[in-house]
């Protein structure tokens, strides 16, 4: 993909994320009413609508600039904990995409995003936050590409599966970061809203990437046939072994 095509793909991804977040607004709000203050759906919708508007007004064919603009919009429009976490981490990681979007740059972006988010939020796996979806997703994405030699599309598919298990893992645990932690043991049995929005965004990126990359990426027939399972979830945080 050349620069202009990549920029178009990024724009499409942002529009798709905005639409999907709008669709899931009340679901995210319901999750946040159980263990928070019922604003996660509104926060995410406001942030992504602003992001979509911002990139519409931005004449750039640089994926890094477009992604940075999304982060800036989230930072300035979302008041809750999730705004600075999502927005600040996207802004900080966007520089990794300066050379365009490749397997290598997307791994670097994912790692930088996770690092920044944990630096800001101080949450680890098991605290019942978006980190519980993000850590397994980022580790799985990196391992799928760098160790298993998968293409980015397959790797993203694996990352989405890992994030899904991470979201399920948030249900039975007690929150120790963010607003939900005020509930103590009463937070047990509820799914974390931020982990859920992280999964929703990853699912949307996967569907846009599938539209853009399917057929373009050469699938290694040998790698396809061989059982990928061996040590497949190794990169995941141990805690995320919990499957439903
Ligand atoms: P607020 O909690 O300020 O109302 P939101 O409702 O928009 O903000 O976002 C809540 C989500 O933010 C939580 O479900 C959790 O995933 C995430 N979150 C909160 N605090 C942290 C933190 N310190 N580190 C990582 N994620 C966090
Ligand atoms: Mg909230």
The answer to the question of residue 88 being in a domain is: yes
Residue nearest to atom 22 of ligand 1 (CA): 121
The answer to the question of residue 62 being in a domain is: yes
What tokens does 155 get? 């790797």
The answer to the question of residue 165 being in a domain is: yes
Q: Which ligand is nearest to the CA of 81?
A: 1
CATH at residue 125? 1.25.40.340
The answer to the question of residue 15 being in a domain is: yes
How buried is residue 69: exposed, middle or buried, by Cβ count under 10 Å (0-12/13-18/19+)? buried
The answer to the question of residue 183 being in a domain is: yes
The answer to the question of residue 37 being in a domain is: yes
Q: Which ligand is nearest to the CA of 199?
A: 1
The answer to the question of residue 161 being in a domain is: yes
Per-residue model confidence as pLDDT tens for the chain (244 residues): 777 889 999 999 999 999 999 999 999 999 999 999 999 999 999 999 999 999 999 999 999 999 999 999 999 999 889 999 999 999 999 999 999 999 999 999 999 999 999 999 999 999 999 999 999 999 999 999 999 999 999 999 999 999 999 999 999 999 999 999 999 999 999 999 999 999 999 999 999 999 887 655 444 444 444 444 444 444 444 344 433 3
Residue nearest to atom 19 of ligand 1 (CA): 178
CA 12/CA 14 separation, integer angstroms: 5
Q: What angle do CA 47, 104, 58 make, to 5 degrees?
A: 35
C-beta 87 within 6 A of ligand 1 = no
Domains: count for the chain: 1
Residue nearest to atom 6 of ligand 1 (CA): 40
C-beta 155 within 6 A of ligand 1 = no
CA 173/CA 184 separation, integer angstroms: 10
Residue nearest to atom 13 of ligand 1 (CA): 194
CA of 214 to the centre of ligand 1 (A): 34
Residue nearest to atom 23 of ligand 1 (CA): 121
C-beta 120 within 6 A of ligand 1 = no
The answer to whether the predicted template modeling score (pTM) of the entire model surpasses 0.75 is yes
Give the structural domain span for 139.
Answer: 3-237
The answer to the question of residue 74 being in a domain is: yes
Q: Which ligand is nearest to the CA of 180?
A: 1
Query: Do the beta carbons of residue 97 and residue 64 sit within 8 Å?
Result: yes
């Amino acid at each position: 993909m050349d620069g202009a095509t990549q920029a178009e793909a990024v724009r499409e991804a942002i529009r798709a994320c905005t639409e999907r977040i709008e669709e899931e607004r009340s679901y995210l709000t319901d999750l946040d009413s159980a263990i928070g203050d019922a604003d996660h759906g509104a926060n995410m919708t406001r942030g992504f609508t602003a992001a979509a508007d911002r990139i519409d007004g931005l004449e750039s064919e640089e994926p890094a600039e477009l992604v940075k603009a999304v982060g800036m919009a989230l930072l300035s429009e979302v008041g809750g904990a999730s705004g600075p976490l999502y927005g600040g981490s996207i802004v900080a990681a966007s520089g990794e995409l300066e050379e365009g979007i490749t397997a290598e740059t997307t791994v670097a972006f994912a790692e930088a995003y996770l690092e920044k988010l944990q630096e800001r939020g101080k949450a680890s796996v098991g605290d019942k936050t978006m980190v519980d979806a993000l850590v397994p997703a980022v580790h799985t994405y990196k391992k799928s590409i760098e160790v298993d030699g998968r293409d980015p599309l397959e790797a993203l598919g694996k990352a989405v599966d890992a994030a899904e298990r991470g979201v399920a893992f948030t249900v039975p645990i007690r929150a120790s970061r963010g607003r939900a932690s005020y509930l103590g043991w009463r937070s047990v049995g509820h799914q974390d809203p931020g982990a859920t929005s992280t999964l929703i965004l990853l699912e949307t990126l996967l569907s846009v990437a599938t539209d853009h990359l399917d057929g373009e990426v050469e699938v290694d027939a040998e790698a396809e046939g061989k059982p990928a399972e061996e040590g497949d979830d190794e990169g995941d945080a141990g805690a995320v072994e919990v499957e439903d």
